[in-house]
C-alpha cells in the first residue's frame, strides 16, 4: 500500500535531520523504503517515530550535482565564478604601502668647548652627501682673536684632560702634514678658519678626504681649534711637518652622529 511520507520523514531519508527544512515531500512506497533500508542493516519496519539517517552523498555524487547546477546556471546566462574578475584588496587605497627609503646622507655634530684661558665655543654640523661623497662642515665659532686659526681633526675622542688628550692629527696613512688640497697630507688636515675682528668665524668647509664612514671616518674623533695660523707644512719650523706650527689647542669637541 502506498502512503505519503511526512515532511520530516522525506527530509531525513534524503539528506538527514540538518537539511530537513529544504526537502519537498514526495510520494514513495514505504514497503520499498523498508526493503532498501533493510539491505543496509536498518530495521525493516518503518514508522514516523523511527528516524533513519542517510549517509552523506559520495564525492562523485556531490560533484555530479554541482556540475548539473553549474550547467543549469550557464543555460540561464549566469557567469561562471572562475570568469569573474578578482576583487581589489580591502582598504588598498586607505593604507598605501610605504616604500622603504634609502638613507642618502650622513650627518654628525660637534659642540666645541674651551679648555684654555679664552672662552672659545662653537657648534658645527657635518654632512656627507651622498654616502661616499664629499663632507661639508658648517657652523659658527666665537671667542677667537681676529685672523687665521688652525683647524684639524685629531685622532682621539678622549677629552678627559681637555684637548691635550685628543692625540695627534688623524693620520691613518702616516703622511706628513699638509694643506687640504695637497696630495700628501693628514686625513685630519683641514687648514685654517678665519675669524673676524669680533672673534667670530663662520665655518663652511668642504673636503674630499675625511668621511663619516669607512677607514677615513672622523666619527668619534675630535675637532680642535688652535690659537695660531697653520703654515700648512710649508714653514721652516720644526713642527711644520707635524702640526703646521699652529700653536695651542683653544677649543675642541667630539664628532658624534646626529
Model confidence pLDDT, tens digit, residues 163-182: 999 999 999 999 999 999 99
Query: Is 70 exceeded by the pLDDT of residue 57?
Result: no
The whole-number pLDDT of residue 88 equals 61
Q: What percent of the chain has pLDDT over 70?
A: 60
What torsion do the CA atoms of 173, 242, 252, 139 make, to the nearest 10 degrees? -80
List alpha helices for 52-105, DSSP H. Answer: 59-75
- How far, in Å, CA of 244 to CA of 231, rounded? 5
Answer whether the bond into residue 130 is a cis peptide, omega within 30°: yes
The mean pLDDT value for 149-162 works out to 98
Domains of the chain are 106-257 (2.60.40.200)
37: which 3 cell numbers?
A: 533500508
112 forms beta bridges with 122
From 37, 21, 40, select the one nearest 29 (Cα to Cα).
37
The whole-number pLDDT of residue 21 equals 45
Q: What are phi and psi of 233, to 5 degrees?
A: 80, 10
247 forms beta bridges with none
- How far, in Å, CA of 166 to CA of 152, rounded? 11
Radius of gyration of the chain (CA): 45
- How far, in Å, CA of 168 to CA of 254, rounded? 14
pLDDT in tens, 63-101: 555 555 555 545 545 445 555 566 666 655 665 566 655
User: How does residue 47 score in pLDDT terms, banded at 50, 70 and 90?
Assistant: very low
Tell me which residues are annotated as active site: 152, 154, 169, 177, 186, 189, 226, 249
The mean pLDDT value for 32-53 works out to 44
User: How does residue 258 score in pLDDT terms, banded at 50, 70 and 90?
Assistant: confident
Question: Residues 173, 183: contact at Cβ < 8 Å?
Answer: no
The whole-number pLDDT of residue 44 equals 45
Amino acid at each position: 500500500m502506498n502512503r505519503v511520507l511526512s515532511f520530516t520523514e522525506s527530509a531525513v531519508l534524503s539528506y538527514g535531520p540538518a537539511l530537513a527544512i529544504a526537502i519537498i515531500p514526495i510520494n514513495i512506497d514505504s514497503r520499498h523504503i523498508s526493503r532498501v533500508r533493510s539491505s543496509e542493516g536498518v530495521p525493516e519496519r518503518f514508522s514516523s517515530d523511527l528516524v533513519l539517517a542517510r549517509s552523506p552523498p559520495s564525492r562523485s555524487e556531490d560533484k555530479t550535482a554541482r556540475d548539473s547546477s553549474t550547467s543549469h546556471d550557464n543555460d540561464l546566462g549566469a557567469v561562471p565564478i572562475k570568469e569573474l574578475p578578482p576583487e581589489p584588496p580591502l582598504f588598498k587605497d586607505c593604507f598605501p604601502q610605504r616604500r622603504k627609503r634609502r638613507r642618502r646622507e650622513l650627518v654628525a655634530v660637534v659642540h666645541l668647548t674651551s679648555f684654555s684661558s679664552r672662552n672659545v665655543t662653537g657648534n658645527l654640523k657635518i654632512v656627507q652627501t651622498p654616502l661616499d661623497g664629499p663632507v661639508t662642515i658648517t657652523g659658527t665659532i666665537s671667542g677667537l682673536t681676529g685672523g687665521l686659526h688652525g683647524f684639524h681633526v685629531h685622532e682621539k675622542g678622549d677629552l678627559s684632560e681637555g684637548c691635550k688628550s685628543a692625540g695627534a692629527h688623524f693620520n691613518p696613512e702616516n703622511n706628513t702634514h699638509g694643506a687640504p688640497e695637497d696630495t700628501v697630507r693628514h686625513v685630519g688636515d683641514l687648514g685654517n678658519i678665519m675669524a673676524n675682528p669680533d672673534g667670530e668665524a663662520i665655518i663652511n668647509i668642504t673636503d674630499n678626504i675625511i668621511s663619516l664612514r669607512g677607514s677615513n671616518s672622523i666619527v668619534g674623533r675630535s675637532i680642535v681649534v688652535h690659537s695660531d695660523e697653520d703654515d700648512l707644512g710649508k714653514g721652516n719650523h720644526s713642527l711644520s711637518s707635524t702640526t703646521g706650527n699652529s700653536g695651542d689647542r683653544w677649543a675642541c669637541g667630539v664628532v658624534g652622529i646626529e
